[in-house]
Structure 1
C-alpha cells in the first residue's frame, strides 16, 4: 500500500516541477500572502521535523560508529553547518555572476557552469526528499501526509522563484533535472535501503541547504511579508503535527 501512495506523491512532485508555469493562480493570488503562508509552513517543518530528525541521526552515529554522544552531536550539526555554508557560497556566486552580467549589458544571466552546479545542488536535495518518502525516521500515515504537504509547498515556492529568476534555463533544462532527481530518489528508496549512517551523513549535510532555502526563498522580504498568513502557516502545520502525534 505504501509504494502506490508514495509513487502518487512523487508524481505530484514531478508535476509541480514540470508545470509550475501553468499554475496561473500563483500569479493571481497576492504573492506576499501565499509566500508568507508557505514560509510559516516551512519554518514549522524545520523546527518540528528537520531538527528532531537530526537528533535521531545523531543517535545512529553514536550507536553505529561507536562515538560518544557529544562527538556524534558535534559531527551531525557540523555537517549541517557545512551544508548551509556550501549552499550559501553557491548562491553568492550565482548572484555575483548575474550582477557582473548585468553590468556588462548582457542581461540577467550567469555562467553555464554555475547553472549546472545550481541545478545539481537542488537535484541532490530532491534525491533525498524522494528517498525519504519511503525511509523517514518517523513512520505513520499522518507523518507522511505532513511531510508530503510541506515538501509540495516548498517545491511550489522554490520553483516559482527559480522560474522567475532563470526562466529560460529553468524551462529548458532545470525543471527536467530536478524532476528526474526526485523520481530517482523514490525509485532508489523502493529498490534498496541505504545504510542509516550513510543517510545520516547525507541528510545532515543537505539539512543545511534546506534551512538556507527556507530562509532565502520562503521567508519574504521585509516589504513583502504578511504576519497573519505566516502565523497561520506555522500554527496550522504545528497543530496538524501535534494532532498526528496524538492519533499515532
Structure 2
C-alpha cells in the first residue's frame, strides 16, 4: 500500500470524525472555513469533476462501442436527482418534527455513508497517484468536512454520538475495496458518474455559503486559488 494512500485515508477519517472540532476551535472562524471550503469545492467541480466525467465518457464510448455518448452524463443526472430527493425529504421531515428530522435523520446518514464509500472507493481505486492524488484528495477532504458540519447542524447530538462514526465507516469501507478489490474500469466510470451528479448537487445546494454566513473574499480566494494552482500543476506535471 502506497504512502499517499495511507495518508489520504487517515486524513479522511480524521476529518470525518473531528470536522466540527477542527472548525469550531480554529482561529480562522467558522464562516471563513466554510466559505473557503465552498470556493475550493466549486473549483474542484469545474476543473476536475466535469473534465474527468467527459474523459470517462469518451473512454466508455471507445471501449464499448456505445453510440449515444451520454450514458455517464445520464447517470450523473440520476445521482443529482437522488441527492436532491433525499435533501427535500429531509426538509419535509424537519418541518414535521419539533426536534430535528426524526427518524429521517438516519436515512440521510445512511445515504451519506454510501456517498462517502463511493467517493472513497473511486479515489483509491483510480489510477491517479502521488502528488496528483494528494492534491485532488485535499479538495475531497474539505468537501467531507463541509458535509459533516451540515449534518452536525441538523442534529448535533445524534451526529456526535453515532452519525460521524457511521460516515467514517463508509470512508473506511470504500478505502478497503478501492485498495484491495478494485473493479473494472467501466465500473469505476459508472461509480464516478453517479457520485459526480450527487457531488455537484451537494456543492451547489450546501456548500455555496448563504448570504448571512458568507465571507466572499475567502470564498473567492478558495475558488480562484485552487483553480490557478490546478492549472499550474497540470501544466507542470502534464496531468
> Post-superposition shift, 1:120?
2.2
Mapping 1:23-172, distance limit 5 Å: 23=22, 25-26=24-25, 29-68=28-67, 71-73=68-70, 75-102=71-98, 107-110=99-102, 112=103, 114-136=104-126, 139-172=128-161
What CA distance in whole angstroms lies between the structure 1 residues aligned with 2:96 and 2:112?
23
What CA distance in whole angstroms lies between the structure 2 residues aligned with 1:194 and 1:24?
36
Give the match's secondary structure for 1:149.
helix
Q: Give the TM-score, by structure 2 length.
A: 0.91
Note if contact 1:6-1:133 (Cα within 8 Å) is conserved in structure 2.
no
Partner of 1:6: 5
What CA distance in whole angstroms lies between the structure 1 residues aligned with 2:37 and 2:20?
18
- Is residue 2:175 matched to residue 1:186? yes
Give the match's secondary structure for 1:134.
helix
What CA distance in whole angstroms lies between the structure 2 residues aligned with 1:177 and 1:48?
30
Q: Give the TM-score, by structure 1 length.
A: 0.88
Out of 208, 224, 227, the residue aligned to residue 219 of structure 1 is: 208
> Post-superposition shift, 1:211?
0.8
What CA distance in whole angstroms lies between the structure 1 residues aligned with 2:4 and 2:64?
34
What CA distance in whole angstroms lies between the structure 1 residues aligned with 2:165 and 2:221?
33
Deviations 1:84-120 (A, max 9, x none): 1111111111110110112xxxx2232x2x2333122
Note if contact 1:3-1:190 (Cα within 8 Å) is conserved in structure 2.
no
Note if contact 2:4-2:129 (Cα within 8 Å) is conserved in structure 1.
no
Q: Structure 1's 24 and 84: CA in aligned 2 closer, same or farther, altered over 3 A?
A: closer
What CA distance in whole angstroms lies between the structure 1 residues aligned with 2:11 and 2:64?
37
Give the match's secondary structure for 2:210.
coil
Q: Structure 1's 108 and 127: CA in aligned 2 closer, same or farther, altered over 3 A?
A: closer
Q: Structure 1's 120 and 214: CA in aligned 2 closer, same or farther, altered over 3 A?
A: same
What CA distance in whole angstroms lies between the structure 2 residues aligned with 1:145 and 1:186?
14
> Post-superposition shift, 1:185?
1.1
RMSD: 1.9
